[in-house]
Structure 1
Amino acid sequence: MKKNIIYILLLTVIGFAGCKSKTTINRDEAGEAISDYLTANPEYKTTHFKFGEIKFNTTNEMNELGKYRTLESKGLVTLSLKEAKKKFLSKDSSFVYQITLTEKASPLVLKQSDDKATVKTIEYVLADKKPVDFAQVSSSTAKVTVTLKKVNTDFAIFDEDANENSSFITKTYKLKLSKDEGWKVQK
């Protein structure tokens, strides 16, 4: 009889322990939730990029042409000279190029019209370190501050702010406990 009571108590305790939902979170679980979120919703910075038929004639525009040639050497655009008016020993030379985006540029192009595209200039990825600051606000919410390092794309040369003073940013995410999916980033 004593054995049966002990077995019944043991099964009851195990049953209640199994029914209790997990409401605590640790740094590794928080880092995994943030990593999953960033995989589905990447963080990035964008700029506008002109293509199509473009005329280059001033010194500043010639510097822009150099940026396009850099992209051409990486296989992201093609340049074809349509018209050239070269004046001997003069700064008034002008060139008209047809600039086309290639298939290789498609992962970096977010939106495109006839002569403009919105392109990614910086992608933010989770730094090697997992969350740097972690606080569980309540039993079902937590705040996690992570370090995201900047990774310049090939189009970063068209962004004026691409070479800022920092190679990383810190960002705070709010996590919420869902009974079905576990800890997820709350939008």
Structure 2
Amino acid sequence: MKKFSFYILTFILIGLVACKNKTTINQSEAGEVITDFLKANPEYKTARFDFGEMKFSSTSDKVELGKYRTLEDKGLVSITLKEAKKKFLSKDSSFVYQITLTEKASPLVLKQENDKATVKVVEYLLSDEKPVDFSQVNSSTAKVTVSLKKVNTDFSPFDKNANENSNFITKTYKLKLSKDEGWKVQN
């Protein structure tokens, strides 16, 4: 009987140790879970982008028109002059352009209306330089803090709230252990 109890106790102990190994997570595994999550749910910043029929003044809107010209050079928009008016005895002129989004802009356009679009101005990617900082709260949850580097898109000049105080953000994710899927980010 003692031998039988010893075997059962040994079997239970081995089972607990085996389960314990499956519930731990290390730094590289946490980084892989976050990388997979960011591929499926990318982090980005958006802005409103005006297009369609737009009027520009040759002096006061020179910088704004330059932003659109840059996008045209990259193939993201097409610009067609519809009307040009020279003001009498003035150096200022007004121009009406038809600005159209091209197919090349589609990966950066999230929502589009008649003359406005919501576009990605900044994308945040997992930084290679700063390691993943994590702490395992208990056997089935962990907190992971990562550094996401800021990558400007071609539409970044249209970001009205451009805050250039840093080129990265830190974000904390909560990981939860699922018996079926393993470690996953909990929303």
Same fold (TM over 0.5): yes
Alpha-carbon offset, residue 122 of structure 1: 0.2
Secondary structure (helix, strand or coil) at the match of 2:23 reads: coil
CA distance in 2, matches of 1:60, 1:186: 49
Match of 2:158 in 1: 158
CA distance in 1, matches of 2:119, 2:38: 18
Aligned ranges for residues 83-122 of structure 1 at < 5 Å?
83-87=83-87, 90-122=90-122
Match of 1:16 in 2: 15
| Distance 1:27-1:169 versus aligned 2 partners, 3 A rule | same
Match of 1:139 in 2: 139
Match of 1:73 in 2: 73
State the Cα deviation string for residues 39-92 of structure 1 (Å, max 9, x = none): 000000000000000011264422211100010000000000000012476243
Q: Which amino acid aligns with 1:136?
A: Q
State the Cα deviation string for residues 164-185 of structure 1 (Å, max 9, x = none): 1211110000000000111100
Q: How many residues align?
A: 180
CA distance in 2, matches of 1:47, 1:107: 14
Give ranges in structure 2 of 5+ residues lacking alignment. Answer: none
Compute the TM-score of the two structures, normalised by the length of structure 2. Answer: 0.87
Task: Confirm whether residue 40 of structure 1 aligns to residue 56 of structure 2.
Answer: no
Secondary structure (helix, strand or coil) at the match of 2:46 reads: strand
Alpha-carbon offset, residue 12 of structure 1: 4.7
Secondary structure (helix, strand or coil) at the match of 1:81 reads: strand
Provide the aligned C-alpha RMSD in A: 2.4
CA distance in 2, matches of 1:20, 1:167: 41
Match of 2:51 in 1: 51
CA distance in 1, matches of 2:89, 2:105: 36
Compute the TM-score of the two structures, normalised by the length of structure 1. Answer: 0.87
Greater Cα offset, 86-95 or 131-140: 86-95
- Determine if contact 1:123/1:153 at 8 Å carries over to the other structure: yes
CA distance in 2, matches of 1:12, 1:112: 61
- Determine if contact 2:82/2:98 at 8 Å carries over to the other structure: yes
